[in-house]
Amino acid sequence: MPADINSFGLSTQRCTFLTWNHETQEYYSNFITWKDLRANALVDQWNAGIIVKTLNTASYALYLITRSNRFLAASVLKMMNSQVTTRLLHEVQTNKRLQEALRRKEARVELLDSWILYKLRSGNGLQTNIDHISDITSATATGLFDPFTLCWTPLAKFLSGIESAILPTVVDNDYKGFGNIHPNALGPEWHSSCVSISASISDQTAAMWGSQCFERGEVKITLGTGAFLNLITGSTCHASVMGLYPLVAWQFRDAREKARTVYCVEGASNDIGTVIEWAKQCGLFNDPMETSDIAHTVPDTNGVYFIPAFSGLGPPINNPRAATGFIGITLSTTRAHLVRAILESIVFRTVQLCETVKAETKFTLKLLRVDGGVSRNDFICQLLADATGLQVERATSIESSIFGATYMVGYNMGLWNSFGDLQKLRQIERTFEPRTQYQLAIRERIANWMKAIKRFENWY
């Protein structure tokens, strides 16, 4: 009941946005998610264009002068469809109503968190003078925000003409101005309630809190719609040349721990849960929970390999033109071989992310904490442990983002005073130990899988 709720925390999907006039409630688009591919042609056009190439060349020249890794990272910068930048530019170029609203200075961009916060704080638009805000962990993933300078980058206007005035004001994760949920926001039973909004944090960084990853070098891997590996880099914003992305993990105005701003680096494989759902629709199994048992019915894939690339291939390959498919199918291939090949491909992509993070950051990984629906698959978790040689730890609850937002609310309210208090709350359902006797055979399979990738690159 509302009367039993004292405070509220928000965790949202990143890089999903809409455009609208908040005063008239006129929407110029539906939510455009991070999986939307309509801007693919624009991404290719920009990456092949003179502006991005000039930026790359100039950045490399600055790197030679300054030896700043930030400029080295910019020298290999490419537009990515998963970020907001090109999808927003595509919307600006193709949506005539939005163009007119921008000309009249009536439109603004809402990230998912800023839209929900506005709705909750304004009572679904009853108050129009509510400030336009987004938390820093949501903003930092858009491609429009510079994690090094901690502000909306002027590069966005230079490249695409997008004015920062239409974007939300970026606030800390312990922002004191979140206020309360409006009594009219959630229905009549909430009319007499007074619930404060105490935290807002994006889903992947919330999952880090839910997995109790607070120290430099600690890693969590979310296996859901995609695979997202996040490693804490502390007060250092890492500049990547291999396709990893530097993010603000959290930022507090009143920091009780060592640093006000804590960074992480993220590597992503966008097709994990989507691959499993596709395989289900193709009739390879009826329930994803069956796949672990199916994979165990055969000792190997019988030479079959699967490339999960519906959205292209991310780091360290970074090829948006790659195709999805099986290779190595023969007359002796069975359904179990195909299912096992799919599960192995998920692990192999995750192993690539682990190795890329290790190579770039020089951190020694000691433990992998996994969450997300796909982490319930025992075959995947055990193979991940065997392939990396690391323990894989799965918590009792796989919904780490929910726990992370809850922990941040309690932390901001003083219910927990330190990260040490939160670490005591972690409950482990199972730890998968690496089996060294299988590592050589797995490495050979990964090497063959990498050869298969070469056959699927640049297909489109």
> 338-386: per-residue pLDDT in tens?
999 999 999 999 999 999 999 999 999 999 999 999 999 999 999 999 9
Mean pLDDT of 204-208: 97
pLDDT at residue 261 tops 70: yes
Distance of alpha carbon 344 from alpha carbon 307, whole angstroms: 10
Greatest extent of the chain over all pairs of C-alpha atoms, in Å: 68
Inside any domain, residue 400: yes
pLDDT at residue 175 tops 70: yes
In whole numbers, what is the pLDDT of the chain averaged over residues?
A: 93
**C-alpha dihedral, 256 to 260 to 262 to 263, nearest 10°:** 180
Which of 116-125, 232-241, 342-351: highest mean pLDDT?
342-351
DSSP-derived secondary structure for 187-238: -GGGTT---EEEEEEEHHHHHHHHTT--STT-EEEEESSSEEEEEEEET--P
Do 216 and 154 sit in the same domain of this protein? no
Do 261 and 401 sit in the same domain of this protein? yes
Distance of alpha carbon 430 from alpha carbon 382, whole angstroms: 11
Q: What DSSP state is assigned to residue 32?
A: B
Inside any domain, residue 420: yes
Cα 77 to Cα 51, 293, 318: the distances in Å are 11, 42, 11
Range of the structural domain that residue 129 is part of? 2-22+105-194
Distance of alpha carbon 24 from alpha carbon 192, whole angstroms: 27
Query: Given this model, what pLDDT does residue 256 score?
Result: 64
Tally the C-alpha atoms within 13 A of residue 92's C-alpha that lie toward its C-beta.
18
Inside any domain, residue 54: no
Buried b / exposed e across 173-204, counting CB within 10 Å, b at 16+? bbbeebeebbbebbeeebeebebbbbbbbbbb
Do 208 and 315 sit in the same domain of this protein? yes
367-371 and 219-223 as β-strands: parallel, antiparallel, unpaired? Answer: parallel
If pLDDT is split at 50, 70 and 90, which confidence band does 156 have? confident
pLDDT at residue 258 tops 60: no
If pLDDT is split at 50, 70 and 90, which confidence band does 288 have? very high
Question: What's phi and psi for 375, nearest 5 deg?
Answer: -70, -10
Do 226 and 353 sit in the same domain of this protein? yes
Do 130 and 259 sit in the same domain of this protein? no
Cα 208 to Cα 39, 220, 299, 378: the distances in Å are 30, 6, 35, 21
CATH number of the domain to which 267 belongs: 3.30.420.40
pLDDT at residue 113 tops 70: yes
If pLDDT is split at 50, 70 and 90, which confidence band does 60 have? confident
Mean pLDDT of 33-59: 87
Query: Given this model, what pLDDT does residue 259 score?
Result: 62
Question: What is the residue type of 29?
Answer: S
Inside any domain, residue 91: no
pLDDT at residue 226 tops 90: yes
The domain boundary, picked from 194, 213, 228, lies at 194
Q: How many domains does the chain have?
A: 2
If pLDDT is split at 50, 70 and 90, which confidence band does 257 have? low
The domain boundary, picked from 174, 194, 214, lies at 194
Do 324 and 224 sit in the same domain of this protein? yes
How far is residue 54 CA from its own chain's centroid? 29
Angle between helices 84-94 and 40-48 (to 10 degrees): 110
pTM of the model: 0.93
Spatial CA neighbour of 131 closest among 145, 110, 152: 110
Distance of alpha carbon 153 from alpha carbon 175, whole angstroms: 22
Tally the C-alpha atoms within 13 A of residue 24's C-alpha that lie toward its C-beta.
10
Q: Map residue 426 onto helix, strand or coil.
A: coil
Mean pLDDT of 330-336: 98
Q: Please, are residues 9 and 99 in contact by the beta-carbon 8 Å criterion?
A: no
Question: What's phi and psi for 200, nearest 5 deg?
Answer: -140, 130
First to last CA, the chain: 53
Q: Please, are residues 264 and 204 in contact by the beta-carbon 8 Å criterion?
A: no
Question: What's phi and psi for 229, nearest 5 deg?
Answer: -100, 125
Q: What DSSP state is assigned to residue 448?
A: H
If pLDDT is split at 50, 70 and 90, which confidence band does 413 have? very high
Query: Given this model, what pLDDT does residue 37 score?
Result: 85
